[in-house]
Amino acid sequence: MDLLTTLVDKGLRRELPTREEALAVLATPDDDLLDVVAAAGKVRRRWFGRRVKLNYLVNLKSGLCPEDCSYCSQRLGSKAEILKYTWLKPEQASEAAAAGVAGGAKRVCIVASGRGPTDRDVDRVSQTIAAIKEQNEGVEVCACLGLLSDGQADRLRAAGADAYNHNLNTSEATYGDITTTHTYADRVATVHQAQAAGLSACSGLIAGMGESDADLVDVVFALRALDPDSVPVNFLIPFEGTPLAKEWNLTPQRALRILAMVRFVCPDVEVRLAGGREVHLRSMQPLALHLANSIFLGDYLTSEGQAGKDDLAMIADAGFEVEGTDTSTLPEHRADALAGGGCGGHGGGGCGPCGDGDAAAEPAVRAGAGAGTVPAPADEARAEEAPVTAPATPAGEARTDLVSVRRRGAGTELPPNA
């Protein structure tokens, strides 16, 4: 396919595809799926070889969040029967993290529900970071605490945090349909704060919430412009008791096409196969390793994942290897930029000034425009892309049997799955 040849060439040069090319990936028929995976796999191997980075989640504080994010089991008004508990003590969090590190995790992601941390919360998390690093030599720590206030990113960096996660989740155009208690611009501003503090930025998306192909391309192009070092790709877990419980819009084939599109748009970025992979990819998870170079090991925040030992077996059986702590995840040009305090690896930059409200509020379609180009208005861009909009995708089978609420690990007396 000429499309795939073009996309591989661009990926090897770290060149941004056109919106039409990205949309065309999502529109490819199932008969061409293996060709799409093989093409995106060439780009993945160019920048990351056959290494798979393992990440491990520790939920520091579960449930009772005041925000109304429709996809989240911890949201305001959620009736999902998840674990609810207040802050873990630093030693408890460190013990939970150690289980993941023992299973091969290179990065520990510490997460707390809520709009954003208070200064006291930052103090508490700083102590937790110190405890984790003291017990686990060489481990990376990524914090995910919600919207940051001035100076908090700097304090987390000084405490030893290596990265900060804050996802865009969906396109700016549809963000208000998903969340009303904060804005898309708030999220962009928090990622900018993390970058300005010298933290490695982690920001991604959630697919399967009823968004269009154009929305998916919008958010991925916005992420390319924001230029995080890692992009987690989540697939909606439709928890009973949340507004999106009936949204079963993904098939394994569509999930793979989404991952391939992300890889083509963000060729040299750590693409992480994140929440919902077991629910929507199911037996096709090994194919996703040809697209993503990073996964979460074991369980997630409020849901159970595949057994950790099965994750490791899947990686080995697919011919990949677990990345060690002595290996840099990022390609040399990105690692050097991060070490030097920069946050851009594409030449076009995406590291706007911290808290730049005007830049943060730009539509995603404009944020994705290539350097030196004049961005088209959103309505013109959508009109141009119409010929390659994907045909209606049959909804995926509702596999509620695969949605299992986490009842082990952090916040419980049971050992974690790692």
pLDDT tens digits, 38-49 = 999 999 999 999
Is the CA virtual torsion 223, 224, 225, 226 positive or negative? Answer: positive
pLDDT tens digits, 121-142 = 999 999 999 999 999 989 999 9
pLDDT at 76: 82
Pick 318 or 240 by higher pLDDT. 318
Pick 326 or 192 by higher pLDDT. 192
Q: State the average pLDDT over residues 50-66.
A: 94
Pick 288 or 340 by higher pLDDT. 288
Strands 163-165 and 107-112: unpaired
Would you place residue 387 in the very low, low, confident or very high pLDDT band (cuts 50, 70, 90)?
very low
Q: Which is nearest to 4 in space by CA: 22, 416, 187?
A: 22
Q: Write down the domain spans for the chain.
A: 19-370
Q: Which phi and psi angles does 170 have, rounded to 5°?
A: -150, 180
Q: Please identify which residue in the block is written with the tokens 């290494």.
A: 51
Q: State the average pLDDT over residues 347-355.
A: 41
Distance CA 307, CA 298 (A): 6
pLDDT score of 353 more than 50? no
Cα angle 277, 283, 288 (rounded to 5 degrees) comes to 55
Q: Which is nearest to 74 in space by CA: 107, 115, 42, 113?
A: 113
Residue 411, phi-psi category: left (phi > 0), alpha (psi -120 to 50), beta (remainder): left
Q: Which is nearest to 148 in space by CA: 107, 109, 197?
A: 197
pLDDT score of 392 more than 60? no
Q: State the average pLDDT over residues 179-202.
A: 97
Would you place residue 372 in the very low, low, confident or very high pLDDT band (cuts 50, 70, 90)?
very low
Which runs of E-coded beta strand occur in 96-139? 107-112
Strands 163-165 and 270-273: unpaired
Helices (H), 83-118: 90-102
pLDDT score of 92 more than 60? yes
Residues known to be catalytic: 65, 69, 72, 109, 142, 202, 272
DSSP reduced 3-state for 211? coil
- The dihedral over CA atoms of 18, 22, 23, 29, expressed in degrees to the nearest 10, equals 140
Structure tokens at 139: 């481990």
Percent of the chain whose predicted confidence (pLDDT) is above 70? 87
Which runs of E-coded beta strand occur in 44-162? 51-61, 107-112, 140-144
Structure tokens at 129: 């970071």
pLDDT at 391: 47
Residues in the chain: 418
Distance CA 113, CA 151 (A): 20
pLDDT score of 377 more than 50? no
pLDDT at 333: 95
pLDDT tens digits, 399-409 = 998 898 898 98
pLDDT score of 212 more than 80? yes
Q: State the average pLDDT over residues 171-180.
A: 96
Structure tokens at 13: 């040069």
Distance CA 389, CA 41 (A): 24
pLDDT at 322: 98
DSSP reduced 3-state for 154? helix
Max CA separation in the chain (angstroms): 57
pLDDT at 292: 98
In words, the CATH class of domain 19-370 is alpha beta
Kindly report the pTM of this predicted structure.
0.88
Structure tokens at 16: 């941004």
pLDDT at 375: 35
Q: Please identify which residue in the block is written with the tokens 């809520």.
A: 114
Q: How far apart are the first and last CA of the chain?
A: 41
Distance CA 184, CA 222 (A): 11
Distance CA 234, CA 252 (A): 13
pLDDT at 394: 65
pLDDT at 404: 87
Would you place residue 367 in the very low, low, confident or very high pLDDT band (cuts 50, 70, 90)?
very low
Would you place residue 376 in the very low, low, confident or very high pLDDT band (cuts 50, 70, 90)?
very low
Pick 370 or 315 by higher pLDDT. 315
Q: State the average pLDDT over residues 335-363.
A: 53
pLDDT at 418: 84
DSSP string, 355-368: T-HHHHTS-HHHHT
pLDDT score of 307 more than 70? yes
Q: Which phi and psi angles does 272 have, rounded to 5°?
A: -105, 125
Q: State the average pLDDT over residues 354-368.
A: 33
